[in-house]
Amino acid sequence: MSKKNIEKAFIKYVKEYQDINGVQPVIFNGPPSPLEFLQKCVHPNRPALIKGSIDHWPAKTLWTDDYLRDKMKDQEVTVAVTPNGRADAVTINPRTGKEYFVMPHEEQMKFDTFLSHLHQDQITTTTTKKPVYYISLQNGSLPLEYSQLEQDIDPEISWCSQALGTSPDAVNFWFGNAESVTSLHSDPYENCYAVIRGQKTFILFPPTEYMCLHGNLGIPPFFLL
């Protein structure tokens, strides 16, 4: 089969997938049952928006800046400091033009210092921009660096754990502002993202879009969603 015919077949497959599965996430107005979550989301591999499922968490009302300052006190935390808000990201070397996958520069600082950086004006002049500070440490950062806050949330999301048949491998605490950006990537496991304050915008692509992204954007396979 020619390359052109392969591309046509793949495009047909992508369109059929979209027609069958739609392009909208599953929306629950309240926590679903484990079986409902398993059938509608996990098995068909579809994203979901669950409204009101963490309204009972004390964190929803307690986690103001003043409260966090008081609980964290002089605790030092790991903060990603980048020029553009992108942590793990593909960056082009301006001298060679080559692309590199780079980790963010990380600094240890008191939580209160991080908050001061987070809320300061981002633009100092028309040509100079301050660094972007983003708490995005992974691999279980909540119990590791924010144990003082664990009591304000449930230890796990019960209906999700029951559906997946396991407790979460890691619970992370992330904190940033509109300048913080997570680059396009792929995670090898299921994610539950609980928004305590503000909002988070996600752009999701189904697995069938893999070749479209890889071919048109030149993104390496490990950097796809």
Cα–Cα distance measured from residue 44 to residue 24, given in angstroms and rounded to the nearest whole number = 13
For residue 94, give both structure tokens: 């301006």
CATH topology for 57-153+164-203 is: Jelly Rolls (2.60.120)
206 class by beta-carbon count within 10 Å (0-12 exposed, 13-18 middle, 19+ buried): middle
Spell out the domain ranges in the chain: 1-25+208-219, 57-153+164-203
So what's the pLDDT on residue 121? 52
For residue 161, give both structure tokens: 């754990």
DSSP letter, residue 111? H
pLDDT in tens, the chain (225 residues): 777 788 788 788 888 877 877 777 889 999 999 999 999 988 888 889 999 999 999 999 999 999 999 999 889 999 999 988 887 777 777 888 888 777 888 999 999 999 999 988 544 544 567 899 999 998 899 999 999 999 999 999 999 999 999 999 999 999 999 888 888 877 778 889 999 999 888 888 877 777 777 544 433 332 222
Q: For strand 76-82 and strand 105-110, is the pairing parallel, antiparallel, or unpaired? A: antiparallel
pTM (2 decimals)?
A: 0.81
Buried b (16+ CB within 10 A) or exposed e, 27-41: ebeebbebeebbeeb
For residue 108, give both structure tokens: 């240890």
Q: Which residues contact 3 (CB under 8 A, 6 or more apart)?
A: none
Cα–Cα distance measured from residue 134 to residue 210, given in angstroms and rounded to the nearest whole number = 28
DSSP readout, 157-224? -HHHHHHHTS--S-----B--TT-BPPS---SS-------SS--------GGGHHHHHHHH---GGG-
DSSP readout, 123-149? BSSSS-BPPEEEB---SSHHHHH-GGG
